[in-house]
Amino acid sequence: MEKPPVITIDGPSGSGKGTIASRVASELSYHLLDSGALYRILGIATLKHGVALNNEPELAKLAKSLDIAFGENGSGSVSLDGDDVSLEIRSDRGSDMASRVGAIPAARDALFERQLAFLQPPGLVADGRDMGTVVFPDAEVKIYLTASPEERARRRYKQLIGKGIDAILPALLRELKERDERDSKREVSPLVPAEDALVLDTTDLSIDEVVEEVLNQAKIAGVLSK
């Protein structure tokens, strides 16, 4: 069977990846992989199961055994061991733990196969940090979204407040810069655009404009809808 097409959308937090990926997936009726959610869930699960981050064998075991279920594409809802953890994984603690486990090679290896399993017909939109560089290096379309740190912190602030989660803008900006630093300096799968990715700065673009550009790239690459 021919491999279904893949569109990768990578970039830092607040670049708009999540929103764009889910919109593009729904436009094309493709599956959606929110890889950040997997790292977030693993981070929260290490706290729940009392697994220390320097215990790589236990961490890998935990990553492989996680019982994760995603809700409908774009709903953002996700459960761990049957419990709804949608809000918890988006909290500051969830973000921090995700970035920490993301820097551990054993955690990345253990989540690798899980991510490949999302590739099902008719196609996949994969959102993350290393989708185009490591997980789906042969993707038909690779997009790398960026935006200024200030704009990204503002977006995260609005997103959290909208979900009823307390947030302080200057603290969010500081934490976002810390996570950027950790994500881009780590030795394994650092946050960098794939050489063949289209880099789009979304600071002054609307969601609709970015979605349109990604769909346009998909068309150019011959990736068809429905």
Site of interaction with ligand DC (CB under 6 A): 13, 35-36, 39-40, 95, 98-99, 102, 128-130, 179, 183
Cβ-contact 48, 184 below 8 angstroms: no
For ligand DC, the closer of residues 5 and 102 by Cβ is 102
CB of 123 vs ligand DC, minimal distance in Å: 19
CB of 131 vs ligand DC, minimal distance in Å: 6
CB of 219 vs ligand DC, minimal distance in Å: 26
CB of 168 vs ligand DC, minimal distance in Å: 18
Output the residue with the shortest Cβ distance to ligand DC: 36
Residue with structure tokens 């050489």?
Answer: 195
- Pairing relationship of beta strands 68-70 and 83-84 according to DSSP bridges: unpaired
Cβ-contact 210, 200 below 8 angstroms: yes
Strands (E) in the chain, as ranges, are 6-10, 31-34, 68-70, 78-80, 83-84, 124-128, 141-146, 198-201
For ligand DC, the closer of residues 158 and 219 by Cβ is 158
CB of 20 vs ligand DC, minimal distance in Å: 12
Residues for the chain: how many in total? 226
> How would you class 98 by CB atoms within 10 Å of its CB: exposed for 0-12, middle for 13-18, buried for 19 or more?
buried
For ligand DC, the closer of residues 38 and 215 by Cβ is 38
For ligand DC, the closer of residues 20 and 215 by Cβ is 20
For ligand DC, the closer of residues 44 and 218 by Cβ is 44
Residue with structure tokens 């038909």?
Answer: 140
CA atoms of 133 and 123, how far apart (whole Å): 18
CA atoms of 208 and 60, how far apart (whole Å): 39
- Beta bridge partners, 97, equal none
For ligand DC, the closer of residues 4 and 190 by Cβ is 190
CA atoms of 4 and 24, how far apart (whole Å): 16
CB of 61 vs ligand DC, minimal distance in Å: 19
For ligand DC, the closer of residues 127 and 218 by Cβ is 127
Residue with structure tokens 């068809």?
Answer: 224
CB of 35 vs ligand DC, minimal distance in Å: 4
